[in-house]
Amino acid sequence: MHVYANTGLILTASFMTLGIVREMAGVRTVVGIVASIVGLVLLVYAGLDFNNVFFVQKMLTKADIPVYDRSVVVPAFLGLLILLDGSFVLGLKRIFSLSIHLLGNFVWLLALFQLNQNLVVPTTEISAYQQVFVLVFIGVVFFIVGIIVNDIPQRKK
């Protein structure tokens, strides 16, 4: 048992040493892959919770909306955002596009916060959800512009 533990420690130390020695692109790749996996796990978690809450427990009343908020909406929105961030980090070529992407992240998180506020105390006013929709739309536009800016070919020096 101790042999396996020591081997694991040696492998961990080796990978950490290799990680430190690698250039920034290696770190960016690892961060992008980890973020993508975390985002995907959150999306799967939200999907399974939706299946459980909606189909198994049959929670279909207005009083059940806060349960959907906690177990479905927040993990799904955060999972999608983290998945987008991971895939963006993997393909990052220009630092300027990162600033546009971060602005999209800020708008997306603001929309998630407003949606969370609307769902914690179930709000049925359409204008409250229209603001969330507009913010999500603006966030998506920032993400798309960031991707376009990132994919513009760089000039050769």
Residue type, 100: I
pLDDT at 110: 96
Query: What whole-number distance in Å separates Cα of residue 66 and Cα of residue 33?
Result: 32
pLDDT at 2: 40
Query: What whole-number distance in Å separates Cα of residue 106 and Cα of residue 25?
Result: 25
Q: 56 to each of 45, 93, 139, how far by Cα in Å?
A: 15, 45, 33
**Cβ-contact 51, 65 below 8 angstroms:** no
**Cβ-contact 52, 70 below 8 angstroms:** no
Q: Write out the two tokens for 86.
A: 């991971």
pLDDT at 9: 41
Question: What's the predicted TM-score (pTM) here?
Answer: 0.76
Q: 42 to each of 52, 75, 114, 133, how far by Cα in Å?
A: 15, 6, 20, 21
pLDDT along the chain (157 residues), means of 10: 40 43 71 94 96 94 91 94 92 90 95 94 89 96 94 81
Query: What whole-number distance in Å separates Cα of residue 122 and Cα of residue 114?
Result: 12
